[in-house]
Structures are given as structure tokens and as C-alpha cells.
Structure 1
Amino acid sequence: MGLFDKLFGKKENQTTRQSLDTPISEVKKDREEYVNVGQSIFPVIKSVDDPKIKMAANNNPILTDQLSDGIVTCYVLDMGNTFEMLSQSHLQNFGLTIDDVRQVAMRNLINKVNTNCQIGVMDFSDQNPEIKPFYRVEMDANFNPSMMLLDEFWESTAKDIVKSDTIAVSIPAKNLLFFSDMKLMESFRTMRPVANQMYEASVSDGIALTTNTYIRKNGKWILFLDTEEQMEKLW
């Protein structure tokens, strides 16, 4: 049993699975390779300023769900060597609804987490003894930021790790997710500049995501504004 099996389980809607497990070749998608649609859809976090989202907005909008200020959830089809962002035309071609896509994307993400997810410790105390560690999710280089979508993880496992119910998250690149206790300043104030450095380092590779930091509050992700007024509300 995987690390998160008890949290998430592996129940499936059999009716949905039958339709989504149909290969693309059988739903008249012009592809030479065999792709199992139901097993190949995953959720990804994107910046609202992502150029692909903007370019497709008028003709064939990318499927998006608002996650928090500045970021949205998109859905991709894993083609093996590349990822294809799902759009309105995919729903028509596959005969799916957006709810179908959301359901299987989350199922596939949970299965991936149950198969391979580890929490790494980012410890810089050798540089400054007063610095406290923060943490890094290591699950899949393509989907680490997608862990933000798994409420069960943040409401149980992550809280147990940081020993706090006020969790901060940074997703500087498409393969990185850091988190810390927002109230433990020696950790929080270390994580944010490290995340900014990783963002800058990722720009040239085309995988930079956002410099934003998000705070988990009442089951939602709130953009950290770094103001005294907001800090008082979050504390």
C-alpha cells in the first residue's frame, strides 16, 4: 500500500472509466501512436500569463479552473514524449465533459502520488545556525506543483510534517514545490528567497512558473501579499 493510499484510496467510477479508457484512435483522433485517454490525463498548475493559454483564448480556449490569484489548473494529455494541453476541441473530439476530465485527472494524479511521493528537507543551517529547514515535494518532475490540488495532503500529512496549520507554498518552476510553516519565520523567510532564485534559474530553461507564494487557509490557497495587514489576518 502506498504512502497516501489511506488518505486517498483508489475508488473509480466504472462508467466514466469505460468511456475514458478508449484509445484516441477509436474516437477519431488523428494520431498514429496509441494513447489511452483515461490513463493519460493529468492536472497541471499554470500561470494565468502562460503564453499558450493566451494564444488559444479566442479560437480554441484551453481548459482552465481558477486555483488562486495568478494561477490556474489546466489539464494535459501525456503523449509519451510531450504533453498536449486540453482545450474545448478535445472535449468534442473525445466526447467528454469537463467534469470527466477533472475526475480522471485527479484520479491519475493520486495514483502517481501513491506510487512515488517523497518529502525532502531543505536545510541551510550549515550557512546560518539560526535558519530552520523547509520542505520539498518530490513526486514527478512534471507534476510536483500539482500537489497543491490534493486537499487531503495539506490538511493532514503536510500539517503533521510542519507541526502547524498555517502552511506556505512556493512553486517557482514547473518541477518544483516548496512548503514551510508560515509562522516559523526562520523557515518561511528562507524558503521565499530560495524559491525566487530557483525561478530566475528556470527562466532560461523555459520552465519558470511563478514567484508568488501561497498560504493555505480554510482549505483555500491565498496569494501572499507580504503586507502587515495580511500578516495580522493570517497569524
Structure 2
Amino acid sequence: MAAEFTAPPPEWGLELSGEQLEKLSLYAAGLREMSGRLNLVSPSDLAAIEVRHITDSLAGAALLRRLLPGGGTVLDAGSGAGFPGVPLAIALPGLDFTFCDSSLRRFQFLTWITARLGLRNARALHARLGQWKGPLYSAVVQRAMGQLENILPQCLNIMSPGGYFLAWQTTAQVAAYRPEVDAALIAAGGKKTEEARYSLPGEKEERHILVFVRKG
């Protein structure tokens, strides 16, 4: 039996049902079951996976729900082990998610975990962002993919005009925000609209979600 998942802090504005909490617990169990053979998460992170990865992913749920009140499609760019896409898909059943990764083994895990959790609003996709030929999305989310100036053009390119890009960032990453980011943003036809700040349970360090929009 999977360990019980603890709901995020109430100030995040995210209420989860018992079924959703159970799916988050099953997701954590699936990660622990498969991580060793597929190298999904570092061994040092496995013990704290619920807070460090799953709860951190959920920090953007209320924000994404506000940005897309009428529903929409969301691409998790470079989903890896499913962060932040899988927790967000569990928390936001009114949105349709695609978990995209260029690694075949990670794509296979994402396909497996999507089926295991019974996520009807999600699918896995094996593709590279730099060679994108698919549909445009209402929003793109990414967590720990690399330098923003390299990611922004690719992510904005697969968003519909008026679509949103949400980037999870640590305080150190925000402090290292460079002029190259603004240059890449302007060249790609986007602009930064807001920045959400939060802290994980048991931690004092402030974390950030930067929100960018593709101009129409």
C-alpha cells in the first residue's frame, strides 16, 4: 500500500479530494518502484520525493487554474519523471495535459504511470522540442530544464498566441536572471507577466514560478 500523501498548505488555494491524494501517493510509489531501473530520480531525492518534487509541482496548480479558467491544453516540456505535469494533471482534471520527453525510457515510464493512475486527461509524447511539428498549446510548464534563454524560444514557439509559459525557478536561478533572457524573450515575441513566490513545507527558502505570455 502506498504511503498517504499530505495535502499542500491551505494558503496555496488548492483543495484535493481523497481520490486525488490517493493518486499522488500511488505516483510516489510508482516512482520509487521504477526509479532504480530507469534512473528517474536521484537516490538522495527518493526519501523526500513527496515534498521536494510532488508538492513543489503542485505549487503551480492554483496559478494555472486561474490563467486557464475555461480549460485548455498544457504541455509539460521535458517532463522527465513527470514533474510538474503528473501532479498537475491529477490536481486539475479540467485541463488536458501532454507529458513530453525526448528520452525513450522516460517516455515509457510516463506512458506506464499515466495508465496506472487512470489519468484520462493526460498522455505521454516522445518528441524533441527543437523539432516540434505538433499542435500549439494553451500553456507550457517546465521544471529544471536548463537556462531560460535557451528554453524560452522553444517553449513560446509551441504555445498559442496569448498562451502562458510557467517556469519553476529557485531563488538562486532568479538571482542569476541575465539580460540574455530578456533578449530571447523579445526575439520570441513574449513578455513576462508575473512571478509567484512560495515555500515548501518545512523549508524557509523561497521558490518562484515565472509566468510569460506569448503575444497575440
Q: Normalising by structure 1, what TM-score?
A: 0.27
Q: Normalising by structure 2, what TM-score?
A: 0.28
Larger of the two Rg values belongs to structure: 1
